[in-house]
Copies of this chain bind each other. A is one copy, B any other.
Amino acid sequence: MEQVGANRCFGGWQKRYHHPSSVLGCDMHFSVYFPPQAEGSSALPVLYWLSGLTCTDENFVIKAGAQRLAAELGMIIVAPDTSPRGDGVPDAPDGAYDLGLGAGFYVNATQAPWAQHYRMYDYIVNELPTLLQANFNVSSKAAIAGHSMGGHGALVIALSNASRFSSVSAFAPIVNPMECPWGQKALGAYLGDDKTAWQDYDACHLLRQQGAFLSLPIRVDQGMADDFLDSQQLTRPLEAVSVELDYPAEFHYHPDYDHSYFFIASKIDDHLRFHAHHLGLTDAP
């Protein structure tokens, strides 16, 4: 693993790393914000941030403004890339933004030509945490959050690994990929035509299946002027399942806010405080 960037930021360090990924079969970048408290001897908890379509590990780092409050709370933030990258990694034949590079959907692909490299689920759930534990003073406590496709990833990963995460949050997430155009295209390509294989990556399915046994804190924020709210059925189907199950997830809707990072930046502090509370960093959310 090689450090390829370091910027002093809010008294801590915004760093970037490059490493060979055996799970993905390629070299990957990821970004880490280390708050000032990371210079002490105590292990700090990690918030994983999963980004949306077309993003790399850098969009959140540059646009969300999360470092200010993370520095105050003492929270490490890890931002991985959104797909495998590099020579030999296939992309959508037509270069579409919603399949292939920048669009890994946090699944383990089973279909050609994707199966060899597109294993972002295993990368986020297993390889990356092991790499962080081996190289940094991170505690065993973790939370996970994301935006859009990354909100889908965060919800699916947390719902399937609830003992590993203190809490999960999402901005404008794809929650029901089995039933929306982005999800049907990606899951069909990566997992094939048998929709039973898609269920493991559908947050609505997972919550309905496991909600009765879970105590995972969930928070979702959604802009009401988001162009994808209706067309990709963001957020609301998960809220419907929560209501149906009487699951205590929080859903917050915001008039006029859209799908952009201006929305994320405006509300990221609420998410950091939500996670800080459940990670035990603060008393009140």
Report A's interface with B, CB cutoff 8 A.
7-11, 14, 62-63, 65, 67-68, 223, 225, 254, 256-258, 260-263, 265-266
Q: Is the CB of A265 within 8 A of B225?
A: no
Complex Cα distance A68/B65, Å? 9
Q: Is the CB of A262 within 8 A of B14?
A: yes
Chief secondary structure at chain A's binding surface: mixed
Q: How many copies of this chain?
A: 2
Q: Which of B67, B258, B260 contacts A265 (CB 8 A)?
A: B67
In the assembled complex, the CB of A192 is this many whole angstroms from the nearest CB of chain B, namely 38
Complex Cα distance A256/B36, Å? 13
Cβ contacts under 8 Å, A256 to chain B? 8
Complex Cα distance A8/B263, Å? 7
Q: Is the CB of B265 within 8 A of A8?
A: no
Given contacts A63-B62, A63-B63, contact A68 B265 (CB under 8 A): yes
Q: Is the CB of B7 within 8 A of A260?
A: yes
A-B contact pairs, 29 of them (CB 8 A): A7-B260, A8-B223, A8-B225, A8-B254, A8-B256, A8-B257, A8-B258, A8-B262, A8-B263, A8-B266, A9-B263, A9-B265, A9-B266, A10-B265, A10-B266, A11-B266, A14-B262, A62-B62, A62-B63, A62-B261, A63-B63, A65-B65, A65-B68, A65-B265, A67-B262, A67-B265, A67-B266, A68-B265, A68-B266
Cβ contacts under 8 Å, A11 to chain B? 266
Q: Which of B7, B62, B223, B254 contacts A258 (CB 8 A)?
A: B7
Cβ contacts under 8 Å, A261 to chain B? 62
In the assembled complex, the CB of A36 is this many whole angstroms from the nearest CB of chain B, namely 11
Cβ contacts under 8 Å, A63 to chain B? 62-63
Cβ contacts under 8 Å, A67 to chain B? 262, 265-266
In the assembled complex, the CB of A65 is this many whole angstroms from the nearest CB of chain B, namely 4
Closest B residue to A259 by CB, please name it: B7
In the assembled complex, the CB of A37 is this many whole angstroms from the nearest CB of chain B, namely 16
Q: Is the CB of B225 within 8 A of A262?
A: no
Complex Cα distance A223/B9, Å? 11
In the assembled complex, the CB of A178 is this many whole angstroms from the nearest CB of chain B, namely 30
Q: Is the CB of B68 within 8 A of A262?
A: no
Cβ contacts under 8 Å, A260 to chain B? 7
Closest B residue to A256 by CB, please name it: B8
Complex Cα distance A225/B8, Å? 9
Cβ contacts under 8 Å, A8 to chain B? 223, 225, 254, 256-258, 262-263, 266
